[in-house]
Chains A and B, each alone.
Chain A
């Protein structure tokens, strides 16, 4: 019996998803570089690259050595147990609750004349900080 020398291995869904996200990020970054004010496009691309690299490292650690991965890594890669899921759910609930007043404060700041780009950047940073702090607090208390 002979074969044609080719073996078809199905592409894992996560690889397809990662490639799609990468394409979307690059396209968005290039659009921002072309049309957005200042160096927003470059900042977006650098931030997205750092985030994607961090995500890849987390996924690698969580799948390669789950016993040594942190709650944060297991929760975000969906490779953890019920406590990891509970911690992530509660942290995201805190973030969701605080996102409303944070957005309100941002709107008021814009209304009072603050630069829109600066307020949006600070809003995003504040939401990331709230999410991180909420995750740490919830993980330590549960």
Chain B
């Protein structure tokens, strides 16, 4: 599944570590989500969407 997490994070001026701290996950998890190697659970996807004031569908795209 593709996502726009990296673009949104960079637009917000956040590092992976800062975003990970806000979401209460590890930096490796943020990196894995951004590179598409890990699809987050629904609760984490919703937390990411809320963090960027978007909907889940606006951030995550089914290939």
Contacts and interface: CB of A to CB of B under 8 A. Distances in A.
B37 A142 contact: yes
B24 A81 contact: yes
Contact of A82 (B27, B29, B37): B29
Nearest to B27: A67
A67 B25 contact: no
B25 A141 contact: no
A83 B27 contact: no
Contacts of B44: 82
Nearest to A70: B28
A80 interface: yes
Contacts of A80: 26
B17 A67 contact: yes
Interface in B10-28: 17, 24-28
Interface in A61-105: 66-67, 71, 74, 80-84, 86
A71 B17 CA distance: 15
Nearest to B26: A81
Size class of B's contact patch? 10 to 19
Tell me the dominant secondary structure on chain A's binding face. helix
Nearest to B21: A67
A135 to B, nearest CB: 14
Given A86-B38, A141-B37, A142-B38, A81 B27 contact: no
A71 B25 contact: no
B55 interface: no
A86 B25 CA distance: 13
Interface of B: 17, 24-29, 32, 37-38, 40-41, 44
Closest 7 pairs between A and B when the two form their complex, measured CB to CB: A81-B25, A83-B29, A142-B38, A82-B41, A83-B38, A142-B37, A81-B29
